[in-house]
Chains A and B, each alone.
Chain A
């Protein structure tokens, strides 16, 4: 030990402290009072502090855990027990012996030191070792899970991309990096099984990076299986579910098979471990970079830590030709020649210096496979090293450092722009967003009440306040909407994976194209639309896309195509799913419908109506039931689910050309801007997004029109007289109001009694009584407490127009007869 470096002052101070501690502890009988524990702490703290300041690592190794333990006891208002006091007494005694005499170099001292160190660590460091596992039970676990799921999704996305471009090194690096992060995070949270698989997978991908393996289908299959398993492991980290345990073992065995397919390269772990048999002697030359102090590193710690690995002989050497007046206190002029006799490997010794920069790394070499410390002749020669000059860094190393710096500067420059453009984001639990939306809905309702009150009171000041609050609540609502809107791309990955897996199952080749994945939808709608889309995609592959042979025979490209296209359209979002498969055989649909009694044999239905039959419960034209479709349960559920979120489904098909399913969804389902109207004495709301313009006509224009068309500014427009359709008994006013809407590229007017004005409608679900109709999609409470019904104008006009077609046809036939 380098005891010479300790000044007499520190030495005597430490000895005094250690002796006082020993005496104090020996004087305690039973359990010490809290104030006595504090006194003990004070002395231990001073010992530790002095040991650190003077670089006496062996002392701080003993007293740092003791200090922590006592500090924790004081913090938790606990005391120390006798066994703990005995250990501290032994530490104080050993500490005195180490400081008083020639430290660890004295015979038997090293063993005594190692023993007390082990005892202290096992008795006092339990908290530190348990610390890691305690995190896994904490609230941080939930955050870890969210982040892990994000990483798993990213991994899945990259793997699917890798399948298309298996030689892309950047993509391989990306996959490796995500796996590594996942491994790191999961191990830190005690998810050992997740960590275990990612670790083995990482080895495989490391093999790919180093060109040991190619990206094969087998590797991708196993990795994707792992991803599915990871999702299970997030919820079942301890493999409580037997099936997960079986999968874990099976996957591990598969990965091992791959990684062992080339035995030339062993896993990194295989290199780590103790040398079988006896000890080896290593020579270590440690010359830290002269700037080592600048990053706060004390090189002495690294030298002292070697004592933990075995027996050492350490020769400190000062730099040659050192002149006192030229010494810079910030620079390190020391180097060390070290002989280490140990059972550890070279790698383990190297790990001791892992925290050091490259240019401070020591040279480690094996001197002998025996204990050279016992060889006096060798030791004598070794001691001469202290008189030899110390080498300096080579020009080549300096040049390499300079090149690395230049590269770094370029890298920083190119990345700055992207970094500046980034927008910080935070993770918020979806339940909190739901709560915020509910509160805003309440606010909007109350704001309407306030506006009404202000109007009734005719108080200018109150009106001004009400208007301001209305404006603020509108902005708040819009902002909250934008928060709850999420892009479709969040779910696209699941679709991609599904297409890949189902296509592989049926030996079909499918190119899945997604357009408009940035299209945003309310998160509630996205959650509900995923399953219907998955079902449609499964059907497309199973029933639509032909096998490669069939496609080639039909003159089609071998690889089929499914396109998912999303885009906003007014107050709606449209999702189109198109395949270039065989299309729906309408005649087959008709025959099945007749056979199953949905229609009569003589019924003549349009293609549109015929296609709608496939949305009937239990309807299937499939000849065979497959694992994924053909059971007749599906499209009716798909249709039902789309209707539940006020969406619509349209089907278009062409035999041998393909099928397109169009899903039209509302942008949001909670609050809408609407036009408040009065029909009779009932309030109705019409979504503002569909309104083109408003007008006014004399009531008799409406009541006296035989064909329900009116001439407005020279344009003939069909109208729907809601007063009449809703069978309102109250008298009409002299004038009726027209609300012009666009429906299938045609302008149609809704006739109402009065237009009240714009209204922010908080939508509420309707009761059971309204379930069987589709014209009214919801209700909203007005400021005066009355209920307004929300009209689904699409349904209303569809219903009306089909009746109108029948009527026009009847009129046409009558006119022919005439």
Chain B
């Protein structure tokens, strides 16, 4: 029996969070929801994650800190980060070019697209 994939999820809106968790559950993935950078740090320092899904526009702008922290932590240098964004992707790609973002998903995104993205980075 393969070990369940663990996915870190940092998304401000509970409604969107619920959808993503439900979708990831169907892929037999375990989703760990974090509510702040500090919360995420605690989780990251425990068991490993195979992917992180981060909403860039989280309150207090802690997403950037989290991305930076992950890329500075040896065990998460290569972990795919899927960034949920609003607005044009171009606004983010320059700013975040050094952080190896695996994929930018612009809200609203179709769940089929979300599925294909998460499949692609498994």
> Using a CB–CB distance below 8 Å, which chain A residues touch chain B?
64, 125, 128-129, 131-132, 135, 140, 143-144, 147, 176-177, 180-181, 183-189, 195, 291, 293-298, 301, 330, 354-355, 357-359, 400-401, 404-405, 407-408, 411-412, 415-416, 418-420, 422, 424, 427
Contact = CB atoms under 8 A, between A and B. Distances in A.
Nearest to B90: A358
Contact of B79 (A188, A296, A419): A296
Contact of A424 (B36, B51, B78, B107): B36
B53 to A, nearest CB: 13
B86 A181 contact: yes
A294 B60 contact: no
Contacts of B107: 180-181, 183-185, 188
A296 B86 contact: no
Contact of A297 (B19, B65, B79, B102): B102
A175 to B, nearest CB: 13
A404 B108 contact: no
A189 B20 CA distance: 12
A294 B100 contact: yes
A569 to B, nearest CB: 34
Given A184-B86, A415-B60, A424-B36, A296 B78 contact: yes
A354 B94 contact: no
Given A128-B115, A131-B111, A184-B107, A357 B13 contact: no
B78 A411 contact: no
Contact of A195 (B18, B102, B108): B108
Nearest to B112: A128
Contacts, number: 143
A135 B38 CA distance: 30
B102 to A, nearest CB: 4
B57 A129 contact: no
A171 to B, nearest CB: 16
A404 B15 contact: no
Contact of B80 (A297, A358, A419, A420): A297
A415 B64 contact: yes
Contacts of B14: 143, 147, 427
A289 to B, nearest CB: 9
19 contacts: A132-B112, A140-B19, A143-B18, A177-B86, A183-B108, A296-B80, A296-B121, A355-B104, A357-B100, A358-B94, A400-B94, A401-B94, A401-B97, A404-B97, A405-B97, A408-B64, A419-B36, A420-B38, A422-B59
B32 interface: no
Interface string B88-108: 011001111110111110111
A542 B110 CA distance: 49
A83 to B, nearest CB: 22
Nearest to A121: B112
Nearest to B79: A296
Contacts of A293: 78
A217 B96 CA distance: 38
Contacts of B81: 295
B86 A180 contact: yes
Contact of B87 (A131, A177, A296, A355): A177
Contacts of B37: 419
A136 to B, nearest CB: 10
A587 to B, nearest CB: 56
Contacts of B110: 132
B119 A64 contact: yes
Given A189-B15, A295-B100, A128 B111 contact: yes
Contacts of B96: 408
Band of interface residues on B = 35 or more
B42 interface: no
B4 to A, nearest CB: 15
Given A128-B115, A412-B65, A355 B102 contact: yes
Contacts of B68: 408, 412
Contacts of B22: 135, 140
Nearest to B83: A355
Nearest to B102: A295
Contacts of B80: 295-297
B22 to A, nearest CB: 7
Contact of A301 (B19, B79, B115, B120): B120
A418 B64 CA distance: 13
Given A185-B13, A295-B78, A355 B59 contact: no
Nearest to A132: B111
B121 A147 contact: no
A418 B61 CA distance: 9
B62 interface: yes
Given A415-B60, A422-B59, A188 B19 contact: yes
B87 A180 contact: yes
B43 interface: no
A404 B98 CA distance: 9
A294 B78 contact: yes
Given A176-B87, A418-B60, 13 more contacts: A177-B87, A180-B107, A183-B108, A293-B78, A295-B101, A355-B117, A400-B94, A407-B95, A408-B98, A415-B62, A418-B61, A422-B60, A424-B36
A358 B111 contact: no
A404 B96 CA distance: 8
B95 A185 contact: no
| A180, A294, A296 interface centre (most CB from chain B within 10 Å) | A296
Query: Which 7 residue pairs are nearest across A and B when measured between Cβ atoms?
Result: A184-B107, A296-B80, A187-B108, A144-B15, A355-B103, A358-B93, A295-B100
A416 B65 contact: yes
Nearest to A421: B60
B87 A140 contact: no
Contacts of A128: 111-112, 115
Contact of B95 (A143, A298, A359, A404): A404
A415 B61 contact: yes
Given A185-B107, A427-B14, A415 B102 contact: no
A135 B97 contact: no
Nearest to A178: B86
Contacts of A177: 57, 86-87
A354 B93 CA distance: 10
A298 B98 contact: no
Contacts of A405: 97-98
Given A128-B111, A295-B78, A295-B101, A181 B60 contact: no
B29 interface: no
A128 B18 CA distance: 16
A177 B97 CA distance: 22
B19 A354 contact: no
Contacts of B117: 355
Contacts of A140: 15, 18-19, 22
A703 to B, nearest CB: 66
A743 B104 CA distance: 65
Contacts of A132: 110-112
Contacts of A355: 102-104, 117, 120
A162 B14 CA distance: 28
Nearest to A415: B61
Contacts of A359: 97
Nearest to A139: B18
A131 B102 CA distance: 24
A105 B71 CA distance: 41
B77 interface: yes
Contact of B15 (A147, A187, A420): A147
A411 B68 CA distance: 12
B87 A424 contact: no
A188 B120 contact: no
A658 B101 CA distance: 61
Contact of B61 (A185, A291, A298, A419): A419
Contacts of B111: 128, 131-132, 188
B73 interface: no
Nearest to B13: A147
Nearest to A181: B86
Contacts of A144: 15
Contacts of A143: 14-15, 18
Contacts of A291: 100
